[in-house]
Structures are given as C-alpha cells and as structure tokens.
Structure 1
Amino acid sequence: MKNRALTRKELQAEIKKLQKSGKKVVFTNGCFDLLHLGHTSLFKKAKSLGDVLVVAINSDKSLSCLKGPKRPLVGEKDRAQLLLALKPVDYVVVFGEQTPHELLKAVKPDVLVKGGDYKLQDIVGREFVKKVYRYPFVKGKSTTNLINTIVERYGKKTSSK
C-alpha cells in the first residue's frame, strides 16, 4: 500500500496527477488534536463533495502556537495515522505555518471545506479553489468540550484501573 501521509511537494504532485485524471480533490484542515464526532462528520461530508479527501493538520509547533503551550495532546505523527485510519480520509499532510495559505496556494485543490464557525471572507486560501463549503458545527462536539469533560471527571491523577 502506498504512503498516504505526504509531504507538501509529494501532495502537490499527487493532486496534479489526480486532477489530470478527472478526480475532484477536496481539502480540509485543522488541528484535530482529539478526534470527535464533529470531526468525523466533517470528513464524511467533505468526502461526499468529491473523489479524494486531503486533510492537512497543523504541526505540533504550529498547534502549540495556536492553542497554547499545553497542546497538542496528541502528536502530529499520531494524529496523521489516526486520520488515515478513517474511511473518508485519503491523504494527510502536516503543515508548519499558522494557516494553510501557502499549502493551498501550492496544491490548489478543487474544493475547500471548513467548519461553520468561519465566515466565508475569513476562510484562508479560498482564492485558490473553485468552491468553498462551510460545514455546520455538530452541537456540543469540540476538542475544548472534551478537554473540559476530562478535567472535570478526572482532574486528579487516577490509576488506569
């Protein structure tokens, strides 16, 4: 089986090849630090909008700059492998910038999917794609909610029993 965790350069070549063969490439990005139903719903919808789904994830350093020094909870290599285990996800790429602007400029997918919390005019890289789709949040499902629940229930260190 070929590697589906690609570098930026490898992804750029793969997308060109896919598009040349008539495939519609869908792209989404995020931290995806703790996977939850909101993420998997977004991936399913994104995949339904095309033939191939590329998920770009923030590097550990980038995520830490965005979310604070206690993050990530799950490292970039593990996050990439977890995402690749999901049926809708075809490729994963890690990017080190704060936004995927340069990555989108380089790879030029057909469709860009972002969460519904983004206003269209605030979606980074929209100028490099043919279509932008905003997927509504799944109510109550977020990494922050998961972290808060864990802290609330397990604030003190516990054994694994």
Structure 2
Amino acid sequence: MTERKILSRDEAIQQADQWRANGEQIVFTNGCFDIVHLGHIDYLEKARQLGDRLILGLNTDASVSCIKGPLRPVVNEYARARLMAALAFVDAVTLFGEPTPLELIEAVRPDILVKGDDYSVATIVGADFVLGRGGRVETIALVPGYSTTKLIERIKSSY
C-alpha cells in the first residue's frame, strides 16, 4: 500500500499536474531522512499543513554518501522511501540522485517550497525558481536537539 506513494520522476510530474488541475496547492521538500526521528516527523507534518499535497524528494543512497560521507546512509533508499510513504501527511515520495534537488523542483513545479529554518530563503535550492513562478518559499522551525548525526553519535558513544 505505501509503495504506491513512491513515484518515479515522470509519475511525480504527472501526479503533480493532476493535483494542480484539481486546484490543489503542492508543497515540496527534500532531504535524506536517514534514521527517522521526531524532528523529521514534526517538520514534515508542518510542511504538509502549508498546502494540499506534499511531495518529498528523497536523496538516493549514492547522493547521501556524497553529502554525509561513506558511512551513510544507515538506512537504504528503499527502506527510507517506504518509511516516508507510510506517513499520512506525505502524499508522494520520489528519489533524486543529483547533487541538488533543482532539476526535480523544476520538473514538479511546486507552489510552496519548504526547508528547515537552518536554511534562509537565499540559500534554499530552487527558491528563485518557485518565487519566479509566483510561489512561496517557507522555512519551518526545527525541533531542538534532534538530528540524525547526533543520534548516531549517541548510539556510538553508548555502545
């Protein structure tokens, strides 16, 4: 059941077009989402509340390794995609392997682009594109004390 929310790029584009034709506002965010924690859940739930549909761009394993280092991800892309798709407030998950999600953002054409408040609008990839189409770019306050890196460090120091 959750697998049907995991879409290829072409399927994500078609789904976004259909939702847009129905008058629904599309929210887009992206990330690695390796070892899902409360911070991820809070962030994604708040992102979805900004519009009618939430599309999540998920980094492939190869791109996570490039960003986070050779020991990451801890959880493989298929499992991460299934976990994200299982969340009621995530409407679609699509993988991307490029260094940034810009190509995916340009393909999906979201109405609202969202990142955590550890970014500024000026540093959010795709912000210029979304704003140029009349969309919005929003940042969401992160839950203090939650990060995958900190979680891994805590596990390593405990065992």
Same fold (TM over 0.5): yes
Aligned residue number for residue 126 of structure 2: 125
Structure with higher helix content:
2
Within 2, Cα distance between the matches of 1:81 and 1:35? 12
1:7-156 aligned at under 5 Å gives the runs 7-129=8-130, 130-154=135-159
Structure 1 residue 4: deviation in Å?
1.1
Structure having the higher Rg:
1
Q: Deviations over 1:84-104 (max 9, x none)?
A: 111111110000011100000
Residues 26 and 113 of structure 1 are in contact (CA less than 8 Å); yes or no, is this contact kept in structure 2? yes
What one-letter code is carried by the residue in structure 2 that aligns with 1:108? Answer: R
Within 1, Cα distance between the matches of 2:37 and 2:114? 17
Within 1, Cα distance between the matches of 2:123 and 2:30? 14
Provide the identity percentage: 49
What one-letter code is carried by the residue in structure 2 that aligns with 1:29? Answer: N
> Which portions of structure 1, spanning 4 or more consecutive aligned residues, are displaced by more than 3 angstroms?
none
Give structure 1 stretches of 5+ with no counterpart.
155-161
TM-score if structure 2 supplies the norm length? Answer: 0.94
Residues 109 and 128 of structure 1 are in contact (CA less than 8 Å); yes or no, is this contact kept in structure 2? no
Within 2, Cα distance between the matches of 1:104 and 1:54? 10
TM-score if structure 1 supplies the norm length? Answer: 0.93
Q: Deviations over 1:110-136 (max 9, x none)?
A: 111101111111100112320011011
SS of equivalent to 2:58: strand
Within 1, Cα distance between the matches of 2:125 and 2:17? 21
Q: What count of residue pairs does the alignment treat as equivalent?
A: 154
